[in-house]
Amino acid sequence: MKDLENIEDFKKCLNQKLIQNYALQSIDLTSFEKEILHITFQNCIFLGCTMTDKIRDHLYRTNFIFQSLNVPYKMYPNMLYSKDTLYNDYDPDRPETFMQTYDSIVYNHYLKTGKEAHDIEETLARRMHDHGITDALQEFIQQYDEKKLVAIMGGHALLRNAHQYTQVAEISKALSEKGYLMLSGGGPGAMEATHLGAWFATRNLADLHAAIEILSAAPIYKDKAWLSTAFKVIEKFPNPGRESLGIPTWLYGHEPPTPFATHIAKYFANSVREDGLLTIAKGGIIFAPGSAGTLQEIFQEITQNHYLSFGYASPMVFMDENYWNNERPVYPLIKIMSDRGDLQNLDLGLYDKTEDIVAHIERFV
User: How many other β-carbons are positioned within 10 Å of the β-carbon of residue 191?
Assistant: 32
pLDDT tens digits, residue range 327-360? 999 999 999 999 999 999 999 999 999 999 999 9
Between helix 120-141 and helix 270-280 the angle, nearest 10°, is: 10
Q: What is the pLDDT of residue 289?
A: 97
Instruction: Report in angstroms the alpha-carbon separations of 321 from 97, 171, 288, 339.
Output: 42, 16, 10, 18
Q: What is the pLDDT of residue 1?
A: 87
Region 136-364: CATH code: 3.40.50.450
Q: What is the pTM of this model?
A: 0.96
**Burial code of 315-346, b = ≥16 C-beta within 10 A, e = fewer?**
bbbbbbeebbeeebebbeebbeebeeeebeeb
User: Which residues are bridge partners to 25 per DSSP?
Assistant: 47
List the chain domain ranges.
2-66, 136-364
pLDDT tens digits, residue range 260-309? 999 999 999 999 999 999 999 999 999 999 999 999 999 999 999 999 99
Q: Which of 115, 90, 113 lies closest to 101 in space, CA to CA?
A: 90
Cα-Cα-Cα-Cα dihedral sign, residues 266, 255, 274, 109: negative
Give the integer Cα–Cα distance in Å for 183 and 341: 30
Q: Which of 183, 188, 335 lies closest to 262 in space, CA to CA?
A: 183
pLDDT tens digits, residue range 250-270? 999 999 999 999 999 999 999
Predicted confidence band at 320 (pLDDT cuts at 50, 70, 90)?
very high
pLDDT tens digits, residue range 4-37? 878 998 999 999 999 999 999 999 999 999 999 9
Give the integer Cα–Cα distance in Å for 349 and 8: 47
The average confidence (pLDDT) of the chain is 96
